Amino acid sequence: MPAQSARGGMGDCSSTMRDGATSKAVAADALKRLRTSLADVEAVEHALRSQMMLYESVLASLVEGIVVQDLTGKIVAFNASALRILGLTAEQLTGRTSLDPSWAAVHADGTPFPGEQHPAMVTLRTAEPVLGVLMGVRLPGGGTRWISINTQPLRDGHSGPLQGVVCSFQDITARRTHEAAIRASEARFRGLSAQAPVGIFLAGPDGEFQYVNETWTEITGVVPEAAVGRGWADALHPEDRDRVTEAWAESVGCGAAYSDEFRFRRPDGEVRWVLATARILSDDMGRVSGVVGCVSDITERRRLEQEREEFFELALDLLCVVDLDRGFTKVSRSFEQTLGWSPGELLGRSLLDLVHPEDQAATEDVLRQLVEGRATGGFETRYRCKDGSWRWLAWRTPRPSAGSRVVHALPGT
């Protein structure tokens, strides 16, 4: 019996030892899992901190202002650009709402912009984004800052309940000032061009017309609505249209100044000659921003030129125009009948080329007196005919205009 009791006591002790070992193993495993969980939590917290630092860095680097407003409209977060654009300190901006009258917000036309119509308040009411709203806000130091505002609803998750609104805005004051200056300049241009005695047109960088003044319409007979785009070209005389449009496209394409004479055919059938000139307009960056030009009615001048051409063609007397630097520029047909030289053979040739050598000095002296503005009473020279013979000519030459070296002459035989 005693021996039997001893074996039973040893069995109980062994069982207790096994139970203690199991408990230690369970505890060790639980501790290991706890440490793993803590490490996971620390990793998540580190990732969240890194994410937050990244978001804060991104917000700080944005040129646009960013503000976050809660469901009541109070501003609870913002970036540095928001403070810079609005001219406020962090203390002044924190807790402020869109309903605050100190914003003194205005619409683009200068009328008051009620706080309840602010894009942030609209988004809080509708849970819908609002884009591209223009607003002027008063700066603490005076003046108005113009901003363009976008809003997005802030939700808990992708489709969770609304928690607030995020507003982003950019300062467009400089752009608006520049646009206002452009509008004022265009208004001055249109005001001046309306009173101009010549036709004025304005085209875009592609050469298509955008504006013509009243005088342009009076000259061409084309109303502004029909002239815009490429409509002006439809009024060109059919014989000039291809040449003019090609020259215009080339000038605009290479940025060169434009000058040409051509005809418009008015709706009533009348033909008008014009002198058109234009120059390229460039912006601050040197890029082509448009073309401005004018047209002058030269119909009467062209008529007189045509009559002069006919007079030179039909005149029985010797008639010529001589540029002392460039030679004959105009010669009547009668030169060919009298001296044998055709107009084509004389144009561009010096008047002195055909003067007899013994008469050269005297002729040069008379021409010098003419240029100096002194009357000469005419002069006589021997002039070589095409067949080699010589013929005496009595030259009558009125004094040229001051500073001119162009002589009009009527040589007689």
> Coil, helix or strand for 138?
strand
- The answer to whether residue 180 sits within a structural domain is no
Same domain, 294 and 321: no
Q: Is 24 exposed, middle or buried (0-12, 13-18, 19+ CB in 10 A)?
A: exposed
Nearest CA to 133 out of 143, 118, 123 is that of: 118
- Residue 28 falls in which region: left (phi positive, over 0), alpha (psi -120 to 50) or beta: alpha
Q: How far apart are CA 113 and CA 135, in angstroms?
A: 8
Could you tell me the CATH number of the domain that includes residue 227? 3.30.450.20
Higher pLDDT, 268 or 48: 268
For the chain, give the mean pLDDT: 86
Same domain, 203 and 115: no
Q: How far apart are CA 391 and CA 92, in angstroms?
A: 103
Domain of residue 150: give its range: 66-171
In the chain, the percentage of residues whose pLDDT exceeds 70 is 89
CA 76 vs CA 52, 89, 95, 324, 367: distances in Å: 16, 14, 6, 86, 93
CB distance 306 to 300 below 8 Å? no
Query: Could you report the per-residue pLDDT of 345-401, keeping only the tens digit for each?
Result: 999 999 999 999 999 999 999 888 888 888 777 789 999 999 999 999 988 888 888
Least confident of 90-94, 271-275, 326-330: 326-330
Q: Quickly tell me which residue has 């036309």 as its tokens.
A: 109
DSSP code, position 347: B
Query: Could you report the per-residue pLDDT of 20-72, keeping only the tens digit for each?
Result: 667 777 777 777 777 777 666 666 565 556 555 555 555 555 789 999 999 99
Query: Could you report the per-residue pLDDT of 120-161, keeping only the tens digit for each?
Result: 999 999 999 999 999 999 999 889 999 999 999 999 877 789
- The answer to whether residue 347 sits within a structural domain is yes
Q: How far apart are CA 103 and CA 97, in angstroms?
A: 9
Supply the pTM of this predicted model: 0.52
- The answer to whether residue 176 sits within a structural domain is no
- The answer to whether residue 184 sits within a structural domain is no
CA 46 vs CA 33, 38, 151, 236, 300: distances in Å: 20, 12, 31, 76, 88
Structural domains of the chain, count:
4
Last residue of some domain: 61, 91, 112? 61
* Over residues 212-219, mean pLDDT: 95
Tell me what pLDDT residue 315 has.
Answer: 74
Same domain, 22 and 51: yes
Last residue of some domain: 302, 325, 351? 302
Q: Quickly tell me which residue has 């009948």 as its tokens.
A: 337
Last residue of some domain: 302, 330, 350? 302
Residue ranges with strand state E in 243-389: 258-265, 271-282, 288-297, 320-323, 327-331, 379-384
